Amino acid sequence: MVGGGGIGGGLLENANPLIYERSGDRPVTEGEEDEQVPDSIDAREIFDLIRSINDPEHPLTLEELNVVEQVRVQVSDPESTVAVAFTPTIPHCSMATLIGLSIKVKLLRSLPQRFKMDVHITPGTHASEHAVNKQLADKERVAAALENTHLLEVVNQCLSARS
């Protein structure tokens, strides 16, 4: 099959997206260097996990496309809950489910098991918002999706470090 990315060979839906600046590495604080002080899991830490996920279509990260933003991450370490809202670049973006799935998988692989995760579309930013949210919230469907070699391949590509 010709064409990169493994998804369709056709034209990009949004060929010229607006590109946002990447934030730098989180500076290491003195507290973080101190073995005695516990650092709770905060919004920036969650954001750092997902901001470098690659977009399935563009050679850009979700952060550069403004699909994920730190303000749309809610986390409570003591209650073990995380909620991430993501914003597709266009309201009809067919990649929305895949992007949500990549975020979800990244969190599943990176967060302690005790966390309950909610990944959903920023309200009012996608035509099929509810359908996508429902799929992402369905544990069995997410598990089934990852059994699909083709889907897993695309998700892994999104989660691979850019060379």
Partner 1 sequence: MAAAAALEAVAPLGALWGLVQDFVMGQQEGPADQVAADVKSGSYTVLQVVEALGSSLENPEPRTRARGIQLLSQVLLQCHCLLLEKEVVHLILFYENRLKDHHLVIPSVLQGLRALSLCVALPPGLAVSVLKAIFQEVHVQSLPQVDRHTVYSIITNFMRTREEELKGLGADFTFGFIQVMDGEKDPRNLLVAFRIVYDLISRDYSLGPFVEELFEVTSCYFPIDFTPPPNDPHGIQREDLILSLRAVLASTPCFAEFLLPLLIEKVDSEILSAKLDSLQTLNACCAVYGQKELKDFLPSLWASIRREVFQTASERVEAEGLAALNSLTACLSRSVLRADAEDLLDSFLSNILQDCRHHLCEPDMKLVWPSAKLLQAAAGASARACDHITSNVLPLLLEQFHKHSQSNQRRTILEMILGFLKLQQKWSYEDKDERPLSGFKDQLCSLIFMALTDPNTQLQLVGIRTLTVLGAQPDLLSSGDLELAVGHLYRLSFLEEDSQSCRAAALEASGTLAAFYPVAFSTHLVPKLAEDLCTEESDLARGDGPTRCSRHPRCLQALSAVSTHPSIVKETLPLLLQHLCQMNRGSMSPGTSEVIAVCQSLQQVAEKCQRDPESCWYFHQTAVPCLLALAVQASMPEKEHSVLKKVLLEDEVLATVVSVIATATTHLSPDLATQSVAHIVPLFLDGNISFLPENSFSGRFQPFQDGSSGQRRLVALLMAFVCSLPRNVEIPQLNRLMRELLELSCCQSCPFSSTAAAKCFAGLLNKHPAGQQLDEFLQLAVDKVEAGLSSGPCRSQAFTLLLWVTKALVLRYHPLSSCLTDRLMGLLSDPELGPAAADGFSLLMSDCTDVLTRAGHAEVRIMFRQRFFTDNVPALVRGFHAAPQDVKPNYLKGLSHVLNRLPKPVLLPELPTLLPYKPQVIRALAKPLDDKKRLVRKEAVSARGEWFLLGSPGS
Binding footprint of partner 1 on the chain (CB under 8 A): 6, 28, 32-33, 35, 38-39, 41, 45, 48-49, 106, 109-114, 149-150, 152-157, 159-160
Whether 96 contacts 126, CB under 8 Å: yes
3-class DSSP assignment, residue 154: helix
Instruction: Count CA atoms within 13 Å of residue 53 on its CB side.
Output: 30
| Nearest residue (CB) to partner 1, 83 versus 152 | 152
Strand order in the sheet with 81-86: 73-76, 81-86, 116-121
Q: Which two tokens stand for residue 82?
A: 């995380």
Q: What is the rounded CA–CA span in Å between residue 34 and residue 152?
A: 39
Least Cβ distance, residue 72 to partner 1 (angstroms): 20
When the beta carbons of 92 and 116 are compared against partner 1, the nearer one is 116
H/E stretch holding 117: strand 116-121
Task: Report in angstroms how near the CB of residue 156 gets to partner 1 at its nearest.
Answer: 4
Minimum distance from CB of 68 to partner 1 (Å)?
A: 16
CB of 125 to partner 1, least distance (A): 27
In this complex, which beta carbon is closest to partner 1, that of residue 90 or of residue 152? 152
Nearest to 104 by CA among 115, 94, 90: 115
- Nearer CB in complex with partner 1: 41/90: 41
Q: How far is the CB of 73 from partner 1 (least distance, A)?
A: 15
* Beta carbon nearer to partner 1, 75 or 154: 154
